[in-house]
Every structure is written in C-alpha cells, then in structure tokens.
Amino acid sequence: MINSILVSELGLQYPIFQGGMAWVSEANLAAAVSNAGGLGIISAMNLNAEYLRGQIRKCRTLTDKPFGVNIMLMSPFVKEVAQVCAEEAPAVVTTGAGLPNLYMKDWLSAGIRVIPVVPSTAMAKLVERAGAFAVIAEGGESGGHVGDLSTMTLVPQVADTVDIPVIAAGGIADGRGAAAAMMLGAVGVQCGTAFLCAAECAVHDNYKQKVLNAKDIDTVVTGKRLGHAVRSIRNPFTKKYVKQEYDPTCSAKELEALGVGALRKAAVEGDLENGCFLAGQACAMVHAIRPAKEIIETMFTETERLLKGAPAWVR
Amino acid sequence: MNTYETIAKLLAEQKDMDANDIRPDMTFSDLELDSLDVAELVMNLEDELGVPVEIDESLRTIADLVQKVDAGKA
C-alpha cells in the first residue's frame, strides 16, 4: 500500500484521482473509480445545477465510497453548480480554469476538501491561502485545457511553494508515471486519459478507438490564440482549426464559434470529422479497454514495485 | 512610487509591455490578462510591497487592484 495523505485523510485505497472531464466523467465512471479505491470525480462541465445534482445523487446510489465533483470555473452555470456542491457536500471539489476563491468559504463550511487544479506556483499559493486541502499541479502533457509548464517542472516547483499536499497530473498513465510523480514531491496522481478507455466510461466507442489508435505524436494543442489552449488528438477538426487559428483573416469570434460543441460531437456522437477528441500525450500509453479497477490496480502494483526498488539506484 | 505606478511597472515587466500604455480604468480583459496572469501579478505585488492581496470577483480593473492594495496597507 502506498503511504500517502490521500489514503489516510481521504479514505482512498490508492492515491489516484480520476480527472473531471466534460462529457466523459459522469456518475458511472466516478463510482467505478471510487469503488476501485481511487477518487472518482463527476464533471459539472458547462451544464446546470439540475444535471449536477442528478449526477451526485446517482453516484451515491452506485458507491458508498468518497467521490468528488469538478467545477469548471468558466462555466456559465458556475454559481449554481457551486451552490449545489455546498448543499450536496461531496467529499472533494476540484476546480479548473481559474481561481475558486469566491466559492471556497461555502465549500469549506460544508466540510468539503477543496483541491484546485493549478498551472503555476502563484495560483497554488493563492488557493493554499484560501484554504485548499491540496492542489493538483497539472502539466501541459495533459488533455483538455493546458498550461505551458510540463509536469516534470511544475510539480517540484509547486511542492516547493506550498505546504499543502500536491497531486501530480499530466502525462501519467502507468505505474512509472505515478512513481516518478512521488519522486517529484507529489502525494498522488490525477489521471484523465488513462480512464477514457475504462470499461465503465460512457464516452462514444469512436472516442475510445481514437485513444487506442493514437501514437506518441498524435496530439496537438490548439486555441492558444484565444488564451485557452487545449490538447486533443489530431483529426480533420484539429486540422481545420489550426488552419483557421493561423489565418489572420479569421476573427477570434469565428475561431471561438468553430470550437463550440466540438467536444460533445466527439464524446457523445463519436463524430470523427467534426469532433474534438480531447486527450493527453499519454494516450499512446493506453492499449486496451479495461475496468477502472484493473487500470488502478495494475498502475499501483507497478508503482509499489518501482518505489520498493528505488534503493537499487544507490550504491 | 505610488501603488498604481508599482502595479504598472510590474505588469509591464510581466507582460513585456509599455507601462505608459496601462491606464487605471483598464480591465484585466482589456489587458488580455487571464486568471494565471492576475495570480502572477498579485504574487509579484505582494513580494514588492509586503502586503497580502486577496483576489475576488470584484477585481476587474487596475483601479480596483490599486484600491485593494491600498486598503490592505491601511
């Protein structure tokens, strides 16, 4: 067993969070991950309070283990979904795409452990001061919204900056990544791409096949021009987007419009032409559709073996 | 150097821009600052002035930030 504060304080069996991915991380997947000993996370994505409340309650019927909710702070429904979290009090709330400080008091009063995703040391420091239990330092290898720093450089710098636990994310899909994350100063990991091909993940089969067929250089970052870069698997959509992004006659508004609904087309409809298949660089390390339990157990069997073998590196 | 001048100086260094192009009424959005940039600016300000600055939704413009910092100093 891995000796981690995530195990002792959050009641997990393994120090692993399943990332909150829009159109992917719904109650079934979150419950499967939590039942397997990790922390499953429901994504509130861009939907309203009713959707999130339904998902939280559904998850409670599927597991008696702790689970979390991910709030995307740029959501048009952020205020109402933040309120749902305060009322339903999941064990953990993770946040992305901004500073959650406005909502933290309510969440903390409800006894929720708030764990924001941070792409820089400054953000980490600000959320620590606001009462975060831990931070998720997510490097640019990850899928979806990405920052500039890599996991290798971000995790140790955040660990040096804050006194709260650091969870590493971005590019981690096996026991080697998890063991390395701990060497970098993390107490655990968050994985998104690794769970895209979980048997319990309801994402369209075409999405899973895109991940399974992906090679190491098959992801691309788009949207930097708009200030919110995202990593996804190359396809006709990304080709078209990149062309428009570098076309000076294409306005920011037109570019923005091009991306609207593209993730839903990928995740729900499996539209290989017009969908945006968000995934991290670790997609080429995902080789099979497996139950969440198997994904987690395989990962941590390897992590334990590697960490136990660490003395072999020292004479 | 007053608070506004300090902010303009730090922002100019951070975003590689001319401090004279920054005005108090400018929003963070006018200056193309995302939450990451604002967090960076606030931490730099704290280091420079030794005053803790809490960020919340009311912070929209450079003038708002000046007011927040000055309130913290008082």
Alpha carbons A62 and A67: distance in angstroms, whole number: 11
- For residue A150, what are its two tokens? 């890599």
The pLDDT score that the predictor gives to residue A71 is 96
Give the Cβ contact number of residue A103 at 10 Å. 24
Are A126 and B57 inside 8 Å of each other by CB? no
| A139, A169 Cβ separation under 8 angstroms | yes
Which amino acid, one-letter code, is at A211? V
Cβ contacts of A121 on chain B, cutoff 8 Å: 43
How much is the ipTM here? Answer: 0.77
Residue A131: pLDDT over 80: yes
Q: How far is CA A269 from CA A224, A234, A264, B14, B25, in A?
A: 26, 17, 7, 43, 45
Task: Output A215-224 pairs: Cβ under 8 A, ≥24 positions apart.
Answer: A215/A284, A216/A281, A216/A284, A218/A283, A218/A284, A219/A143, A219/A279, A219/A280, A219/A281, A219/A283, A221/A140, A221/A146, A223/A255, A223/A259
| A53, A88 Cβ separation under 8 angstroms | yes
Specify the CATH number for A5-202+283-313; select among 3.30.70.660, 3.90.1150.10, 3.40.50.620, 3.20.20.70.
Answer: 3.20.20.70
Alpha-carbon torsion B8, A227, B55, A5, what sign? negative
Alpha carbons A163 and A179: distance in angstroms, whole number: 21
Are B36 and A147 inside 8 Å of each other by CB? yes
Residue-wise pLDDT tens digits, A228-286: 899 999 999 999 999 999 999 999 899 989 988 999 999 999 999 999 999 999 999 99
Alpha-carbon torsion B12, B18, B22, B28, what sign? negative
Residue A95: pLDDT over 80: yes
Average pLDDT over residues B38-43: 88
Residue-wise pLDDT tens digits, A205-227: 999 999 999 999 999 999 988 88
Which amino acid, one-letter code, is at A66? P
pTM metric for this prediction: 0.91
Pick B36's closest partner by Cβ from A119, A125, A129: A119
Please name the residues between 199 and 218 in chain A that touch chain B, using a CB distance below 8 Å. Answer: none
Report yes or no: A99 at the B interface, CB cutoff 8 Å.
yes
Alpha carbons A258 and A260: distance in angstroms, whole number: 6
Catalytic residues of B: 34
Are A122 and B35 inside 8 Å of each other by CB? no
Are B57 and A119 inside 8 Å of each other by CB? no
Residue of A nearest to B42 (CA): A122
Question: pLDDT-based confidence at A97, cuts 50/70/90?
Answer: confident
Domain spans, chain A: 5-202+283-313, 205-282
Greatest CA separation for chain A: 61
Cβ contacts of A73 on chain B, cutoff 8 Å: 35
The pLDDT score that the predictor gives to residue A85 is 96
The pLDDT score that the predictor gives to residue B52 is 83
Q: How far is CA B74 from CA A65, B52, B57, in A?
A: 48, 12, 21
Residue B73: pLDDT over 80: no
Report yes or no: A102 at the B interface, CB cutoff 8 Å.
yes
Residue-wise pLDDT tens digits, A274-313: 999 999 999 999 999 999 999 999 999 999 999 999 888 8
Residue-wise pLDDT tens digits, A154-171: 999 999 999 999 999 999
Question: pLDDT-based confidence at B35, cuts 50/70/90?
Answer: confident
Measured in degrees and rounded to the nearest 5, phi and psi for residue A97 equal 65, 45
Measured in degrees and rounded to the nearest 5, phi and psi for residue A31 equal -65, -40
Cβ contacts of A99 on chain B, cutoff 8 Å: 35, 38-39, 55
Residue B1: pLDDT over 90: no
Which domains does chain B carry?
3-73 (1.10.1200.10)
Listing DSSP states for chain A in one string gives ----HHHHHH--SSSEEE---TTT--HHHHHHHHHTTSBEEEE-TT--HHHHHHHHHHHHHH-SS-EEEEEETT-TTHHHHHHHHHHH--SEEEEESS--HHHHHHHHHTTPEEEEEESSHHHHHHHHHTT-S-EEEE-TTSSEE--SS-HHHHHHHHHHH-SS-EEEESS--SHHHHHHHHHTT-SEEEESHHHHTBTT--S-HHHHHHHHH--TT-EEEE-GGGT--EEEE-SHHHHHHHHHHT-TTS-HHHHHHHHTTHHHIIIII--TTT---B--GGGGG--S-B-HHHHHHHHHHHHHHHHHTGGGG--
Q: Residue A314 burial by CB count (10 A; 0-12/13-18/19+): exposed, middle or buried?
A: exposed
Residue-wise pLDDT tens digits, A31-55: 999 999 999 999 999 899 999 999 9
Residue A98: pLDDT over 90: no
